[in-house]
Chains A and B, each alone.
Chain A
Amino acid sequence: MTAKIRSSKGAPYARILGVGGYRPTRVVPNEEILKHIDSSDEWIRSRSGISTRHWAGPDETVAQMSVEAGGKAIADAGLTPEQIGAVIVSTVSHFKQTPAVATEIAHLLGTKKPAAFDISAGCAGFGYGLALAKGMVTDGTAEHVLIIGVERLSDLTDLEDRATAFLFGDGAGAVVVGPSKEPAIGPVVWGSEGDKSDTISQTLPWDVYRERSSEEVRFPALRQEGQAVFRWAVYEMAKVAQQALDEAGITADELDAFIPHQANLRIIDSMIKTLKLPEHVTVARDVETTGNTSAASIPLAMERLLATGQAKSGDTALVIGFGAGLVYAATVVTLP
């Protein structure tokens, strides 16, 4: 017989309740990058907008940075760690695949046995996590979900590649998603384009070391086809951003802030032009002093906009992440 199964009962809607960030203490200026490549401060800034980035020290591990950012997000939400029902961590630079680093982070934060898992969605990881969290809260599988984007991309940077050596940074950004009486996270517009998987990728898979020694083969690094990525990010992602606005029933005039993945200032500036965003919209430009921190970049930029008063709680923001996969995720949110 088909027995009647009871389902969970979730909140009517979900919202971001709090945000937190951690930036490593060591600030690396362009001058330091120039020790390894033939370039100039002016060239780096004109191609990327980046003047400094943070690189993690030995104690600033993926787990430790996540605990700092996650703890701040939980406190900012007015919650305690025991109230977190799920922990989602997005990273591509945690070098121990098993177990998921999310479980260690959940434990170090003092949570009470929440669901905890890692996801791999490159620079769209935050948006992917946000979409999952929203679903979990409205489904009732977790009341409060902690999402952390964390990277130590300095570990995957080829210091001698003049096209990417200056680009990447380290850090962690986190938000807590919980119940809401009103809609405060719009429909996510997300997807993947696996036919372009070679556009941004790690140079070699780890199992290359099964056959060859580390003396023979250089440690893997991130590489990308700059022009192809730029074209896709500016023109294709502008369409995705517009679709996220349309699906949320929001016009660009109603936006207070635009928080795109902090890949490169040139991409951000061209996206604004292509999207024809009105002047009054505050645009996150955290990349200038943080570099590209992949999954961490959107929550870090969000935290900075709120901390500096450039945006305020209750503002309406468009967020969009895009990167290796290729993958993307965009949505409209009410800021915590």
Chain B
Amino acid sequence: MAATQEEILEGLAEIVNEIAGIPTEDVLLDKSFTDDLDVDSLSMVEVVVAAEERFDVKIPDDDVKNLKTVGDAVDYILKHQG
């Protein structure tokens, strides 16, 4: 069954916590990965690959650069999940 927006946010928060060490409660929809969460361009790739596995979704390299905020990523996954 497809994940809800809330479940995706929760899952992303766990992934960002594991990769960048940011507390899960700080991972909110309006936060910018690079400016607020210390997720640089390379860590972002790790976040994306972990999210692909967790939510059964493909996020091509060309789309990764458009995912500026946590909300962008949640929306993308919501729309494209298998």
Chain A residues in contact with chain B, CB under 8 A? Answer: 46-47, 225-228, 230-231, 234-235, 266, 270
Within the assembled complex, what's the spacing in Å between the Cα atoms of A46 and B49?
Answer: 20
Whether B61 is near chain A, meaning CB under 8 Å from some CB there, is yes
> B49 is contacted by which of A225, A235, A266 (Cβ under 8 Å)?
A235
Interchain CB contact under 8 A, B41 and A226: yes
Within the assembled complex, what's the spacing in Å between the Cα atoms of A227 and B34?
Answer: 14
* Residues in A whose Cβ lies below 8 Å from that of B40: 46-47
* Residues in A whose Cβ lies below 8 Å from that of B64: 227
User: How many chain B residues touch the partner (CB < 8 A)?
Assistant: 11
Please, what's the 1-or-0 string for B22-44, where 1 marks a CB less than 8 Å from any CB in chain A?
00000000000000000011101
Q: Which residue, B40, B41, B42, B65, has most C-beta atoms of chain A within 10 A?
A: B42
**B43 and chain A: residue at smallest CB distance:** A266
Interchain CB contact under 8 A, A227 and B46: no
Within the assembled complex, what's the spacing in Å between the Cα atoms of A227 and B64?
Answer: 9
Chain A's nearest CB lies how many Å from the CB of B51? 13
Chain B residues in contact with chain A, CB under 8 A? Answer: 40-42, 44-46, 48-49, 61, 64-65
Chain B's nearest CB lies how many Å from the CB of A54? 24
* Residues in A whose Cβ lies below 8 Å from that of B45: 227, 230-231, 234
* Residues in B whose Cβ lies below 8 Å from that of A231: 45, 48-49, 61
Interchain CB contact under 8 A, A227 and B44: yes
* Residues in A whose Cβ lies below 8 Å from that of B42: 47, 226-227, 230, 266, 270
**B49 and chain A: residue at smallest CB distance:** A235
**B65 and chain A: residue at smallest CB distance:** A227
Closest 4 CB pairs of A and B: A228-B61, A231-B45, A230-B45, A266-B42
20 A-B contacts (beta carbon < 8 Å): A46-B40, A47-B40, A47-B42, A225-B61, A226-B42, A227-B41, A227-B42, A227-B45, A227-B64, A227-B65, A228-B61, A230-B45, A231-B45, A231-B48, A231-B49, A231-B61, A234-B49, A235-B49, A266-B42, A270-B42
Within the assembled complex, what's the spacing in Å between the Cα atoms of A235 and B3?
Answer: 25
